[in-house]
């Protein structure tokens, strides 16, 4: 399937980026969801959230072979207080939704290549026994504790994974605070990072300011979003950009995303959100 985003990235923005020196260091924060052989081929490649174990291993091998050092989100921020200011070729690997296939498929590959990761949990679906979210089995608390002891960072992805913009202030506070408290009680450690569910409504500036304040009041030190791009020192640590990754990312596109050549898409993403917000 022809992809306008991939074609523009590979044949326009990636070559241009090679000709222009970088004005600042950037931190690519990769956003994965399910690592499985399940087929979501009916979905347009841009929107897919499944990465096969084979493709995921190719990604991790590429990072390893090309000298990338893995860093957890909170560690990247705490190094200097802003993402993208740490020296060296860093990458943060994140996973949303707490799927069990992280334990069975992703973690062994991460460990093989010496990488850690940050996993964001929707806590209503994390129980003593496996529960399903969007038809996919999730981690149990015992598995979460085991992964935590092996160096995986856990953050909040709310309690029930709602569209926060559709909720009142008390409901938002519940989703932010209860999920954080539950993870901290189960793991016995501070939860510093939050992942905003669904597309972040960045064009709604009053809402963005409100939720930024509420995330801080809930005790989080940083937050990642679905805004496309690499994180940099000028961006807010509460709305850090990420790079969506799935099975359709071959080595060329994966490389281009890592070096910032996919960041142009944020302007298009923002324009679509702005038009949609006015209808």
Is 73 domain-assigned?
yes
Rg (CA), the chain: 18
Is 5 domain-assigned?
no
Which residues make beta-bridge pairs with 133?
Answer: 136
Tell me the per-residue pLDDT of 119-140, one tens digit each, with 9 for 90 and over: 999 999 999 999 999 999 999 9
| Average of per-residue pLDDT values in the chain | 92
Residue 85 has pLDDT above 70, yes or no: no
Tell me the per-residue pLDDT of 243-266, one tens digit each, with 9 for 90 and over: 999 999 999 999 999 999 999 999
Is 67 domain-assigned?
yes
Tell me the per-residue pLDDT of 225-247, one tens digit each, with 9 for 90 and over: 999 999 987 888 999 999 999 99
Is 1 domain-assigned?
no
Spell out the residues 6+ positions from residue 73 whose beta carbon is closer than 8 angstroms to its own: 29, 92, 94, 118, 153, 155, 193, 222, 224, 240
Q: What percent of the chain has pLDDT over 90?
A: 81
Is 141 domain-assigned?
yes
Asked if 5 and 263 touch (Cβ cutoff 8 Å), the reply is no
* Closest of 102, 100, 78, 101 to residue 90, by C-alpha: 78
Asked if 115 and 70 touch (Cβ cutoff 8 Å), the reply is yes
pLDDT in the model for residue 181: 98
* Closest of 237, 243, 180, 185 to residue 212, by C-alpha: 237
pLDDT band at 79 (very low <50, low <70, confident <90, very high): confident
Residue 188 has pLDDT above 80, yes or no: yes
Parent domain of 189 = 25-277
Alpha-carbon span 239 to 227, nearest angstrom: 8
pLDDT in the model for residue 41: 65
pLDDT in the model for residue 87: 47
Is 11 domain-assigned?
no
pLDDT in the model for residue 83: 56
Is 217 domain-assigned?
yes
Residue 220 has pLDDT above 80, yes or no: yes
Residue 212 has pLDDT above 50, yes or no: yes
**Tokens 């044949």 correspond to what residue?**
11
pLDDT in the model for residue 25: 76
Tell me the per-residue pLDDT of 156-176, one tens digit each, with 9 for 90 and over: 999 999 999 999 999 999 999
Asked if 231 and 260 touch (Cβ cutoff 8 Å), the reply is no
CATH code at position 177: 3.20.20.370
The 10 Å CB-count burial string (b at 16+, else e) for 221-238 is bbbbbbbbbbbbbebebb
Pick the range with the lowest mean pLDDT from 24-28, 52-56, 60-64.
24-28
DSSP conformational letter for 46 = G
Q: What is the DSSP string of 231-268?
A: EETTS-TTSEEEEE--TT--HHHHHHHHTTTTTTHHHH
pLDDT in the model for residue 80: 55
Q: How many domains does the chain have?
A: 1
Is 170 domain-assigned?
yes
Alpha-carbon span 163 to 150, nearest angstrom: 32
């Amino acid at each position: 399937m022809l992809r306008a985003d991939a074609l523009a990235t590979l044949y326009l923005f990636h070559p241009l980026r090679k000709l222009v020196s970088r004005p600042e260091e950037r931190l690519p924060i990769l956003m994965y969801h399910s690592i499985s052989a399940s087929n979501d081929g009916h979905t347009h490649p841009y929107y897919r959230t499944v990465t096969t174990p084979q493709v995921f291993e190719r990604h991790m091998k590429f990072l390893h072979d090309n000298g990338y050092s893995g860093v957890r989100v909170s560690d990247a921020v705490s190094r200097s207080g802003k993402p993208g200011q740490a020296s060296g070729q860093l990458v943060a690997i994140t996973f949303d939704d707490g799927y069990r296939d992280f334990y069975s498929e992703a973690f062994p590959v991460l460990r093989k290549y010496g990488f850690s990761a940050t996993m964001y949990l929707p806590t209503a679906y994390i129980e003593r026994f496996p529960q399903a979210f969007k038809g996919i089995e999730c981690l149990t608390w015992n598995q979460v504790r085991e992964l935590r002891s092996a160096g995986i960072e856990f953050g909040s992805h709310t309690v029930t994974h709602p569209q926060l913009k559709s909720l009142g202030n008390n409901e938002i506070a519940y989703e932010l605070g209860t999920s954080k408290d539950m993870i901290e009680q189960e793991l016995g450690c501070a939860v510093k990072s939050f992942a905003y569910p669904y597309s972040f409504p960045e064009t709604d500036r009053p809402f963005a300011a409100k939720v930024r304040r509420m995330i801080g009041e809930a005790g989080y030190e940083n937050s990642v979003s679905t805004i496309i791009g690499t994180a940099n020192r000028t961006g807010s640590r509460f709305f850090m950009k990420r790079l969506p990754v799935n099975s359709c990312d071959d080595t060329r596109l994966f490389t281009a995303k890592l070096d910032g050549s996919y960041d142009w898409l944020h302007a298009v993403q923002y324009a679509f959100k702005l038009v949609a917000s006015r209808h």
